[in-house]
A and B are shown apart, each in its own frame.
Chain A
């Protein structure tokens, strides 16, 4: 009986010290390899941070934050240097405007899907479509913005065109996180409100939205923190790279930090590498502040509930 023979062999092999020792060794080797793999990601993060600090050391100054970008190397020698001011303010305006559009559209869509929509084919199509949109490359959204807002809409390469493009880009993420926040509101609260005669709209406005608000805010701020680092859509929309003032209005040209960093990083001269690094540090700091805000909001309301 071949099978019995095989089982016997395996059993004998297993009991022998030699094989057991080898299995232990393989086990240890495997843990070692897995651990090394895990550490390699951490090392990459460390190298990234170290590289940015070393390259930007001495270049990140108050002047850098308050001066316009320098068009030529000449300006570095007179002590003023180049600055990120118009791009920093431009990015903040851009994100503030994006926030207004995304909160309105994202929360509206999430309320519709969670509170109003029937569980039918159309709803499932909308939800599947949202998850597909989240996988579309950001540069394709840039093409949409270019054709729709900049050209067909006749807006030109202005602040509001950039904000609308970024809105469409992060809308899927905002909707999904807002849906989660709304789903977390207990059904008993809704039923209690319906029980005292509230309409669908009153339940949404007075019961669901107030409870879901911290969750919605957290998700939206995290999505906006991602949007502020997006470069490719802004290139397609045509954000400016040599602007010396912050945007003066919604329909004015604008500079943004990631565009400015791209412009500096593409310059061959060595000095530009340092200001590209300094710009990256400013961008990451703004993102870090936004993430901290989101965490603070979450922690504050999690403990209160």
Chain B
């Protein structure tokens, strides 16, 4: 081996080592992002909880952080988020599963090739456009039926979030149902089952883990949804069961604070991180639950 070969080898060796370090650093950015999010939320929330006791935060039922007399009970915001989540889930989950059954079991492949991408367009529409759709179309329709409905109301928010999460439920559930092997269906027909019985008693139970995982992901998305609920459901922290009233979700509160020029160190700025932390913990728990269900209850077929 000549000396030039050795130096060439050394050069490419060094290049390889540098490349490895650079690529590893890129992957490390994702881990640092997670730690960054947790660090930012926790360090932001600590000064808040020095001013406001955690007990008040989780027991008081009034949220009035920027106006005197101040009160920092997060329940009205959690309640607002839950109204949107429950309302949108009641609409989107059944419709999503029925859509998935139709696409997977009944539709011809030609119809499916048209309908599936059409529904997936709904998943690509920006949330701000959904927000505009809610105030310019959905709310006026609700007002036609219930004239007492306010400009901002929880119902419009729930309906528009349902439209947003529908493609997530239908698409992921359809994937799970399509993955059910055909011999299970044929066994059902062989026993004299009708198509309805095969769909509801064989395919749906066999795909249940995928369907449930899609439910949880959709609910997690509804919890974190921001722009559409801010525009449609309003800015009034309010514990109510009347869906025609104005409410405020956790995310809408964060938008409200973020829009103003809140100075660092003010209680408003600090409350942002406390609410953000609650939001992050809720969505993280949902995402982990979804992964767990998918792995734990997955039916494996060969």
Contacts and interface: CB of A to CB of B under 8 A. Distances in A.
A171 B29 CA distance: 9
B12 A199 contact: yes
A135 to B, nearest CB: 4
Nearest to B43: A147
Interface string A17-53: 0000001101100110111111011101101100110
Given A129-B30, A139-B226, A140-B280, A52 B23 contact: no
A144 B132 contact: no
A201 B16 contact: yes
A135 B30 contact: no
Given A226-B124, A231-B227, A171 B102 contact: no
Interface in A131-148: 131-133, 135-144, 146-148
A34 B99 contact: yes
Interface stretch (A62-70, A243-251, A279-287): A279-287
A59 interface: no
A224 interface: no
A208 B14 CA distance: 20
Contact of A42 (B34, B115, B130): B115
B20 A116 contact: yes
A138 B115 contact: no
Contact of A262 (B124, B167, B195, B231): B231
Interface residues of A, number: 90
Nearest to A266: B231
A41 B95 contact: yes
A139 B12 contact: no
Interface stretch (B51-59, B67-75, B250-258): B250-258
B90 interface: no
Interface string B100-119: 01110011000000010011
B206 interface: no
Contacts of A172: 30
B26 A140 contact: no
29 contacts: A24-B194, A26-B196, A34-B106, A37-B96, A41-B95, A48-B163, A115-B23, A116-B24, A131-B287, A132-B284, A135-B220, A137-B280, A142-B254, A142-B258, A143-B44, A171-B29, A199-B12, A200-B16, A201-B16, A226-B124, A235-B258, A258-B126, A261-B132, A265-B131, A265-B132, A273-B135, A276-B132, A284-B126, A287-B124
Interface of B: 12-13, 15-16, 19-20, 22-27, 29-31, 33-34, 36-37, 40-41, 44, 94-96, 98-99, 101-103, 106-107, 115, 118-119, 121-122, 124-133, 135-137, 163, 166-167, 170, 192, 194-196, 199-200, 217, 220, 223-227, 231, 251, 254-255, 258-259, 261, 264, 272-273, 276, 279-280, 283-284, 286-288, 291
Given A112-B26, A236-B258, 16 more contacts: A27-B196, A34-B101, A44-B122, A48-B137, A51-B137, A108-B25, A109-B27, A112-B20, A138-B226, A140-B283, A143-B272, A151-B264, A232-B226, A258-B227, A262-B231, A280-B128
Q: Which 7 A-B pairs have the closest CB atoms?
A: A137-B224, A229-B126, A108-B26, A37-B98, A34-B102, A112-B23, A135-B287
